[in-house]
Amino acid sequence: MLSPLLASWLTSLRDVGLVLLPLAVGMTALWLLLPQARPRQVLISAFIAGTAALLVGGLVLLRGTGPDVPLLFDVLFWVFALLAVASGVAMIVQRNPVYSALWFAQVVLSTCGLFLLQAAWFLAAATVIVYAGAIVVTFLFVIMLAQQTGLAPYDRQAREPLLACIAGFALLAALQYAVSTAGKTSPDTVQVFAQPRQLPKVQQVLEEVRSRVKAGESPDDTGKLLYLQAAQPESFVGNILFQLAETLPPKERKQERDVCEAANAKISRARLTENAEMMVEGLDQLLALSQRLELRFGKSPLSRLREPHVASLGQSLYGDYLWAVEIAGTLLLVATVGAIVIALRRQEEAA
C-alpha cells in the first residue's frame, strides 16, 4: 500500500524523468562538441543532438499544445525555438570567436522572431538594432583588435567541459522542474491573474444570476454564485473583469476600470440591501463590460497582433516607467563615459 505522498512522488518522478532524458542526451552532445584536446566527433555529436531534438519533439507531442494556438503560430514557434537553441549551441562550441559572434547574431535574430510571436514588435525591432546591429558589431571590432593569427590555444581548449555540462544539466533540470511545477504550486496562488478565456464563463454566470434575480430570488443568495470558485474573493467575476481591464491600453484602462468599480460597488450594496433593481442594474453593466472586453481581446491570439502595440508600449514606457527611463538614460551616459575612460590608451602606456 502506497501512501498518497509516495504516490505523488512517484508521479512527479515519472514526469521529471521524461524531462531529464532529453536534457541528459543534449548535454552529452554538448560535451562532445565543446572544444577539447581530442579531435571533435562531429558526426556522433550531431547524431546525439538529433536524438535529443527528437526526444523533445516526442515530449511535445505527448503533452500536446494549447487548444487556442493556431498551427501557424505553433510552427513558427518551433522553427524559431529550434533555430535559437541550435545557434546557441553552435555559438558556444565554435572555436573561432568571429564565428561565435556571428552565431550569437543568429541567436538574437531567432529570439526576435519569438518576440514577434509574443506581439512584442517594437522590442523585436529594437533588439535587432541594438544587439545584432550595435553590440555584435562592437564585438567583431574588438575581436579584430585583439585576435591573433590562427586559432589561439585558449580557443582550442575548453575549461572543465564535463563539469560545466553537469552543472548546466543540473541547473536546466532544476529550471524545468520549476517551470513545469509552477502551475501546480500551492492553491493560493492559482488563478490570481485573470485570463481572457475566462470571459465566456463569466458571462454565463452573470446571465444566470441576472435571470434568477429577475425571477424574484434573493439578490444576496444568488450573489454567491458570482464566485467562479466558492468563497475565493479573487475569483469574484467583478474582480476578474477589473483585472482584465487593467491590461488595456492606458486610455481605455481608466474608463473601463471606473465602470467596473461602480458596478461592483452597486452589486455589493444591492446584496446588502436585498435591492433586486439595483442588482440587475449592476449585473447589466458588468455584462456590457465583459462583452466589450471579449471584443477587445478577441478569441484568438492573432487578434492581439492587430492592436496598436508600439503606441501602448510608448504610453506605458513614458507614463508608468518615466523615472526608470530617465535613470536608464543616465546609466547609458555613465557607461559611455566609463567605457571611453577604460579603453582609452593612456599617454604613458602609448609611450
Partner 1 sequence: MSDLDVALRIVPALPLVGSILTAFLGNRLLGSKSHLPVVVGLAGAVLFSFMVLVEAPGSGRISTSYDFVDLGNLHINVVLRADALTAMMLVTVNLVGFLVAVYSRGYMAGDPGYARYFAELGLFVFSMSMLVLSSNFLLLYVFWEAVGLCSYLLIGFWYERPSAAAAARKAFLVNRIGDAGFLLGLMLMWTTFGTLDYDGVFRQVEQADPATLTAICLLLFTGAIGKSAQFPLHVWLPDAMEGPSPVSALIHAATMVTAGVYLVARSTPLFVASPTAQLIVAGIGGFTALLAALMALTQFDLKRVLAYSTVSQLGLMFLALGAAAGQPKLAEFAVVAAVFHLFTHAFFKALLFLAAGSVMHAMGDVIDMRRFGGLRRLLPWTHALFLVGALALAGVVPLAGFWSKDEILAAVHEASHGPYPGFFTVCYYTAVLTTFLTAFYTFRAYFLTFWGEERVPEEAHGHAHESGWVMLVPMALLAVGAALAGILFGPTHLFAEYLGKTPIFATHGEEHGLNWTVMMTSTLAAGVGIGLAAWLYVLSPSLPERLRRSLPGLYELSSNRFYLDELYGVLFVGPATMLSNFCRLFDQYIVDGVVDLVGWVPGAVGRVFQTPQNGLVQYYALATTIGLAIFLVFVVLTLRG
Partner 2 sequence: MTPILHNYLVVGSVLFVLGAIGFLTRRNLIIVVLCVEMMLQGVALNLVAFGAYHRSFSGQVFTIMMLTVAACEAALALALVLALYRRQRTLDVSVWQTLREPEVEPEVEETPPEEPPPPPPEFPRLTPAGLEPKSNQAEEAAHV
Site for partner 2, residues 23 to 82, rule: CB under 8 A: 30, 34, 36-37, 60, 63-66, 69, 73, 77, 81
Place of cell 503560430: 73
How many angstroms separate the Cα of 21 from the Cα of each of 38, 157, 210, 240?
26, 28, 53, 40
**Alpha carbons 65 and 60: distance in angstroms, whole number:** 7
| Contact set with partner 1 (CB under 8 A) | 159-160, 163-164, 167-168, 170-171, 173-175, 177-178, 181-182, 184-186
DSSP, collapsed to helix, strand or coil, labels residue 230 as coil
Question: From partner 1, partner 2, none, which one binds at residue 236 (CB under 5 to 8 Å depending on kind)?
Answer: none
Question: From partner 1, partner 2, none, which one binds at residue 64 (CB under 5 to 8 Å depending on kind)?
Answer: partner 2
Does 146 participate in binding partner 2 (rule CB under 8 A)?
A: yes
Q: What are the residue ranges of helices labelled H in the chain?
A: 4-33, 42-63, 71-93, 97-117, 121-127, 136-146, 153-156, 161-182, 199-214, 219-223, 237-246, 250-273, 276-297, 309-315, 322-343, 347-350
Question: From partner 2, partner 1, none, which one binds at residue 130 (CB under 5 to 8 Å depending on kind)?
Answer: partner 2
CB of 82 to partner 1, least distance (A): 25
CB of 5 to partner 1, least distance (A): 11
Which residue of 104, 132, 264, 279 would you call a contact of partner 2, by CB under 8 A? 104
Convert 155-174 to b/e letters by CB count within 10 Å (16 or more is b): beebeebeebbeeebeebbe
Q: Residue 268 or 315: which CB sits closer to partner 2?
A: 315
**Alpha carbons 170 and 20: distance in angstroms, whole number:** 10
Q: Residue 73 or 227: which CB sits closer to partner 2?
A: 73
Residue 225: partners with Cβ closer than 8 Å, 6 or more residues away:
205, 208, 209, 212
**Alpha carbons 65 and 184: distance in angstroms, whole number:** 18
**Alpha carbons 27 and 36: distance in angstroms, whole number:** 15
CB of 187 to partner 1, least distance (A): 10
Question: From partner 2, partner 1, none, which one binds at residue 186 (CB under 5 to 8 Å depending on kind)?
Answer: partner 1
**Alpha carbons 351 and 345: distance in angstroms, whole number:** 10
x-or-dash pattern for partner 2, window 237-256, by CB under 8 A?
Answer: -------x-xx---------
CB of 277 to partner 2, least distance (A): 34
Half-sphere CA count of 4, side-chain side, radius 13 A: 0
Question: From partner 2, partner 1, none, which one binds at residue 316 (CB under 5 to 8 Å depending on kind)?
Answer: partner 2
Q: Residue 27 or 267: which CB sits closer to partner 2?
A: 27
Q: Residue 4 or 67: which CB sits closer to partner 2?
A: 67
Q: Residue 151 or 171: which CB sits closer to partner 1?
A: 171
CB of 218 to partner 2, least distance (A): 36
Question: From partner 2, partner 1, none, which one binds at residue 227 (CB under 5 to 8 Å depending on kind)?
Answer: none
Using CB under 8 A as the binding criterion, the count of chain residues that bind partner 2 stands at 99
